[in-house]
Amino acid sequence: MKNTIRIGAVVAVSALALAACSSAPEDETSSTATAAATTAPVESIDFVPCMVSDAGGFDDKSFNQSGFDGLVAVSDELGMEYKTAESTDGNEYTANIDAMVDGGCDLIITVGFLLSQATVDAALANPDTNFAIIDDLADNDYDGTTDAPNIKPITFSTDEAAFLAGYGAAAATQTGTVATFGGINIPSVTIFMQGFLNGVNYFNTQTGGDVNVLGWDGTDGSFTGDFDDQTKGQDVAKGFISQGADIIMPVAGPVGLGAAAAAKDAGNTWIVGVDTDWTVTAPEYSDIILTSVIKQIGAAVEDVVSGDAVGDGFDPAAYLGTLANDGVGISDFAEGTVDADVVSTIDDLKAQIIDGSLAVK
């Protein structure tokens, strides 16, 4: 069931065989931003895509790294120079975005909900520069429309994939208790948690089970308050384990690695990874990863950048990754954790979500 197919069709300039890169660029430090640029080949496209990270940085083994990998892949394929600015905390968002504007970027991609207001402010102040934002609609006045015409939202229906992971976790638990927690209580985090809860509840309804979910009740739950402090993730996970949870889904960027450390120490606890396949991006924990809820952020970045650079130009319409277009999905369950008939059921549930006969909301 591993979903690694790219989302949608890349503009037909050439047959793109994009290979992701996991290492961050060499940085050129300034007082306002940490920026980097590749060396463009002799024959290159006159288009400069740029990216500003959230505080987790481009080596967070999560959404920042996925976005960066997509930027590198499409830039290498199309022969483009790219620039990046890596944020270490929220106070750097505005300065880093401004540095990219001043650097002559044609498209500036910001990574994460927390950069939303800074992205909107920059877009309104620079109407001739195009922006995209990952995991947010840039609708800070909540009127149902993006707050600037030159921002393209890149979003994902991760609740669809998390629903499948929740159903599988409910089938796999040996204690009857599973758990989830978030880094910060924001929509791009709670959508995972809600989908996971709904999947467990659906399992209970369909099978007569009584699996309990700690950490999220559909309205409120457990949050560490940031995406950086792995100790907090470790402490939250230890608390869940002490309450009997043997499967935990941390939706907290690098903080989730702290939860994985606690699970590994416990010796009888599984982790559900998020954003990427954690057996690949966090191989030190590969033996305790039940499955991962994957957002194809890198592929989305590739498509958006290539469409702007060599396709039909900038399109502000929101980009939505779903199960139907392989924008989200789950990785294979660890061997021996989920029976074959449950895997078959999950495949059926996926088909029902895609055709609209099963709602996950």
- The model's pLDDT over 18-60, given as tens digits with 9 standing for 90+, comes to 333 333 333 433 334 444 555 444 467 899 999 999 988 898 8
Give the percent of the chain with pLDDT over 90: 81
Span of 43-57, 102-116, 117-131, 234-248 with lowest mean pLDDT: 43-57
Residues of the chain with CATH 3.40.50.2300: 28-156+297-321, 158-295+331-355
Per-residue confidence (pLDDT) for residue 66, from 0 to 100: 92
Q: Please check the confidence at residue 200 and state whether its pLDDT lies above 60.
A: yes
Instruction: List Cα–Cα distances, 248 to 59, 75, 216, 228, 233, in angstroms.
Output: 23, 36, 12, 18, 11
CA 194/CA 187 separation, integer angstroms: 10
> 28-156+297-321 has which CATH code?
3.40.50.2300
pLDDT band at 13 (very low <50, low <70, confident <90, very high): very low
Instruction: Give the tokens for residue 133.
Output: 């934002």
Q: Please check the confidence at residue 95 and state whether its pLDDT lies above 60.
A: yes
> From the CB of residue 264, how many other CB atoms can be counted at a distance below 10 Å?
14
Quick one: which of 293, 361, 353 has its CA closest to 325?
A: 353
CA 249/CA 270 separation, integer angstroms: 9
Q: Please check the confidence at residue 139 and state whether its pLDDT lies above 50.
A: yes
Name the pTM for this structure.
0.84
Question: Taking the mean position of all CA atoms in its chain, how far away is CA 96?
Answer: 21
Q: What is the DSSP string of 190-244?
A: HHHHHHHHHHHHHHHHHH----EEESB-SS-B-B-S-SS-HHHHHHHHHHHHHTT
Partners of residue 178 on adjacent β-strands: 213, 247
What would you report as the CA-atom Rg of the chain, rounded to the nearest whole angstrom? 20
Per-residue confidence (pLDDT) for residue 43, from 0 to 100: 61
Question: 276-300, pLDDT tens digit by residue?
Answer: 999 999 999 999 999 999 999 999 9
For the chain, the straight-line distance linking the first and the last C-alpha, in angstroms and rounded, comes to 22
Mean pLDDT over each residue of the chain, to the nearest integer: 89
CATH of 158-295+331-355, one of 1.10.940.10, 2.40.128.30, 3.40.190.80, 3.40.50.2300: 3.40.50.2300
Q: Please check the confidence at residue 14 and state whether its pLDDT lies above 80.
A: no
Instruction: Give the tokens for residue 249.
Output: 């889904």
CA 123/CA 132 separation, integer angstroms: 10
